[in-house]
Amino acid sequence: MNLTDKVVIITGASSGIGEATAKKLAKDGAKVVLMARREDKLKALKDTIENDGGTALVVSGDVIKKDDFDQVVDATVKAYGKIDGLINNAGLMPLSFVEKLKTDEWEQMVDVNIKGVLNGVAAVLPKMKTNNGGHIINISSMAAHRYFPGGAVYCATKSAVKMFSEGLRQELAPKYGINVTSIEPGAVATELTDTITDEDIKENMQDMQNMTTLEAEDIANAIHYALLQPNRVNINDIYLVPSEQK
Ligand code: NDP
């Protein structure tokens, strides 16, 4: 099996896991729709994918804004006539200890990491329900399984994504053949830690730099595996961590 002509929307496609996933899925024949705020990065990725023989559409937008998601869905349906998959990948991780009360950053995490996922589902569901099946993949985290320093709010958002995914699966898979997968990676080498403003946490993160982390491509491979399964198989969770991570 491969992903030929499957239409897949990927949020947070401008870097890291989203970018690697777009390349991987496009290489296997999927038509990928690239969403994030940095349009220049998305356009460069589209060029790379198309130079490699793939098909990509750029619709820049902010996952916090429902209207932006609706535009992505409209543009996707106009270009390709259907939506087979949604990868809710966009996320932020501005870690800090709760007592520092960085409430603006808590709000950003709740908005992007949780509401962004809900917005994505709300936007694609009416169209996906009319298909013969579909697949929604939410990028949760190892942070849904355990707390790490400064991660109380981030871990809460990723736990929410994991549990939401399970509820969504139970509601959608039996009724509409829409499968749902939660991907829960440990440390991956991406730009994610750039969102950290807290100096104490930044120092902590430097300790992690001696560890061999996962590559974004490792997560793209996990997403690809989940998407490749026949519709009768729902991969509920994929929890993958660097061999060196405790
Ligand atoms: P990156 O920082 O490389 O990617 C994050 C992506 O999210 C960017 O493309 C960014 O694009 C996009 N994004 C952020 N805010 C918004 C927004 N409001 N609207 C649209 N897009 C947005 O990090 P990763 O690739 O690592 O992160 C991807 C996902 O993986 C996240 O959900 C993260 O929590 C999760 N994860 C990462 C791990 C890691 O160790 N790296 C481990 C476990 C999970 P732009 O700025 O252009 O909008």
- Smallest CA-to-CA distance from 187 within 151, 213, 167 is with 213
By three-state DSSP, how is residue 62 classified?
A: coil
Catalytic, 154? Answer: yes
CA distance 32 to 89: 14
What does the domain layout of the chain look like in residue ranges?
Answer: 7-240
| CA 151 / ligand 1 centre spacing (Å) | 16
93 CB within 6 A, ligand 1: yes
pLDDT in tens, the chain (246 residues): 599 999 999 999 999 999 999 999 999 999 999 999 999 999 999 999 999 999 999 999 999 999 999 999 999 999 999 999 999 999 999 999 999 999 999 999 999 999 999 999 999 999 999 988 999 999 999 999 999 999 999 999 999 999 999 999 999 999 999 999 999 999 999 999 999 999 889 887 776 778 899 999 999 999 999 999 999 999 999 999 999 998
The CATH homologous superfamily to which domain 7-240 belongs is NAD(P)-binding Rossmann-like Domain (3.40.50.720)
88 lines ligand 1 (CB under 6 A): no
Annotated catalytic residue: which of 154, 176, 225, 239?
154
Q: Which residue has the tokens 């993160």?
A: 205
Give the CA distances from residue 179 to residues 121, 170, 171, in Å, rounded to whole numbers and listed in that order.
12, 9, 10
